[in-house]
Amino acid sequence: MQDGASHGKGLAKHVTDGDYDTHAKPPGSSFDYRIDLRDGETTRFTINSMVIHWGRFGDRFKGIPKEGGGWATASWPGEYVTSYRLEYRQAGSNEWLPLHVWEGRPVDEKAEGVEVQLLPTDQAGCSSEVIITIATHDIRDVAEVRIHANGSHWIGLYELEVFGLPSAS
């Protein structure tokens, strides 16, 4: 898993820690996280859905809040995540297969089998927190999943949840 964040709440281990207040935030405008689903006993899973808690990184950075309302231009305004890709690897294979690709901000996603949920936020410079649910249609024998994302400045991810059941070996 990629890491190198400059503070404790931004470490890669937070991608799957179950805590929606922590996030993975590498020092840059892209990331590539791999999540090994195997637990020692179960080596393959059938995935039913995935939930990506983008938080503020799924929307646009508006700038610094101005006293009295509105937004002052920041020295680095722009998009957080501008594209992302989910992949999976089946048990016994080294090949990564595409699961879902989106070119654009997660907040604007309009793909079949994808639900976008917007939550109000008090985070400066952001209009909403974004949660994406992706129906995967029972992908079988999965050992690992991977998420790649790009943006126009520092980006991150609050949580990636994978839902499913162990597959028969």
Domain CATH code at residue 111: 2.60.120.260
Q: What is the DSSP string of 66-80?
A: PTTSSEEPPSS-EES
Distance CA 130, CA 55 (A): 5
- How does residue 68 score in pLDDT terms, banded at 50, 70 and 90? confident
Residue with tokens 């997660």: 106
Task: Please check whether residue 1 lies inside any domain of the structure.
Answer: no
Structural domain including 44 reads 8-166
Task: Please check whether residue 155 lies inside any domain of the structure.
Answer: yes
Residue type, 169: S
Task: Please check whether residue 2 lies inside any domain of the structure.
Answer: no
Q: What is the pLDDT of residue 29?
A: 87
Distance CA 151, CA 133 (A): 20
Task: Please check whether residue 43 lies inside any domain of the structure.
Answer: yes
Based on the structure, what is the number of domains in the chain? 1
Residue 121 CB burial class (10 angstroms; 0-12, 13-18, ≥19): middle
Q: What is the pLDDT of residue 134?
A: 93
Q: What is the pLDDT of residue 27?
A: 80
CB contact at 8 A, 14 and 22? yes
| Cβ neighbours for 167, distance < 8 A, ≥ 6 positions apart | 44, 45, 46, 140, 141, 142
pLDDT at residue 25 greater than cutoff 60: yes
Map residue 151 onto helix, strand or coil: strand
Phi, psi of 108 (to 5 degrees): -95, 5
pLDDT at residue 123 greater than cutoff 50: yes
Task: Please check whether residue 3 lies inside any domain of the structure.
Answer: no
pLDDT at residue 65 greater than cutoff 90: no
